[in-house]
Amino acid sequence: MSSSFLPAFNTSTSSRPLAAYGWDDGWAAEFTPYAEQGLVPGRVVRVDRGQCDVVTADGTLRADTAFVTPHDPMRVICTGDWAAVEPAGDPRFVRAYLPRRTAFVRSTSSKRSEGQILAANVDHAIIAVSLAVELDLGRVERFLALAWESGAQPLVVLTKADLVTDPVGLSYLVQDVETTAPGVRVLPLSSATGEGVDVLGALVAGGTSVLLGQSGAGKSTLANALLGEDVMAVQASREVDGKGRHTTTTRNLLVLPGGGVLIDTPGLRGVGLYDAETGVGQVFAEIEELAADCRFHDCGHEAEPGCAVLIAIEDGSLAQRRLDSYRKLMRENQRIVAKTDARVRAEIRRDWKAKGAEGRANAALKRGHLR
């Protein structure tokens, strides 16, 4: 998306144009020291190749990010940031960005296990899930964990709902996702027929939303439906597996006609957790609540006596799939944290040694009984 999609603003309108992008009194207060330096505020609407497009009260400008490109990938400027930009110059430079209220972060695929910021200062995380293929509830849980951890309010949108012609069948699919996403609104939607688009627009009006999902989930089509025009390019999904190519290759921030702004993102094939224990706990709130009644406060829900979680599995009030998914995400998150936190690594090693010693003691005891 080029900056031609963004409106130019009259300088006489002061900061009023920035209000459409989420500027408020809180941001203005944060910006005071930069204003005293003669810098101007603007919101980053796109980042690529060491530069970014920034919307200011005077319109959209191109700025260099050399001064805010540290070695730490968690601190690089990203779409959604509020930036302090030089008022003039060729090139202009972003000198700083304001502290983020929220940040959507995933782990990279590198061996260093670094975090990658996908979007900043987000109020709503719209997770697009295609009904053209079989539901992958585990992936939905993964997206939800990252969304909750970011500080944004998740919202699951079941796209291509027009492909499910049986209303009863559609209701069952919605119920499956609702069970997977406690406390989260689940909305079936069709960009082709318009079903649910107005409802979604009303839900996200007045805030910043990020649109997330796999390639082929219909994100670009949904973005166009919310925008009321074909701004984002769209490619057809493969009929074999419902997957699509990366239609969107950068993260773009766009103003919605009903209020609020939308950050569209490329399709995410890999969604690694990054220090998201709180988010995982919120996705599996029912397991966390059950765990509070376990006999041991450090219960691992494996084979411990008095485990309320295992009792719930036995009586059918908790699905085994949910517990398996919970264990998987908690283990993954523990590994990623351990790679960057020496203290946690030491705790895990001590736990392994203690369990190993306990296992050896039990084995010795059994051997004694067999004699």
Residues shown for the chain: 371
Residue 269 CB: number of other CB atoms within 10 A?
10
pLDDT digits (tens, 9 = 90+) for 213-235: 887 788 888 999 998 876 654 44
pLDDT digits (tens, 9 = 90+) for 319-343: 999 999 999 998 888 777 776 665 5
Per-residue model confidence (pLDDT) at position 46 = 93
Using an 8 Å Cβ cutoff, are 204 and 124 in contact?
yes
Per-residue model confidence (pLDDT) at position 300 = 86
Per-residue model confidence (pLDDT) at position 264 = 87
Using an 8 Å Cβ cutoff, are 220 and 211 in contact?
no
Residues 6+ apart with CB under 8 A from 138: 325, 328
Relative to beta strand 261-264, strand 40-48 is: unpaired
Phi then psi dihedrals of residue 199, to 5 deg: -65, -45
Low-confidence ranges of the chain (pLDDT < 70): 1-15, 107-114, 230-250, 267-274, 339-371
Per-residue model confidence (pLDDT) at position 366 = 56
Residue in 32, 90, 92 with CA at minimum distance from that of residue 67: 92
Using an 8 Å Cβ cutoff, are 202 and 209 in contact?
no
Residue with tokens 């006999």: 295
Backbone region of residue 130 per phi and psi (left: phi > 0; alpha: psi in -120 to 50; beta: other values): beta
**Amino acid identity at 33:** P
Half-sphere exposure of 201 (CA within 13 A, CB side): 18
DSSP string, 46-93: EEETTEEEEEETTEEEEEE-GGG--S-GGGS--TT-EEEE-SS-SSEE
Per-residue model confidence (pLDDT) at position 13 = 38
Per-residue model confidence (pLDDT) at position 267 = 56
- Considering only CA atoms, give the Rg of the chain: 24
Using an 8 Å Cβ cutoff, are 189 and 223 in contact?
no
Query: pTM of the full predicted structure?
Result: 0.78
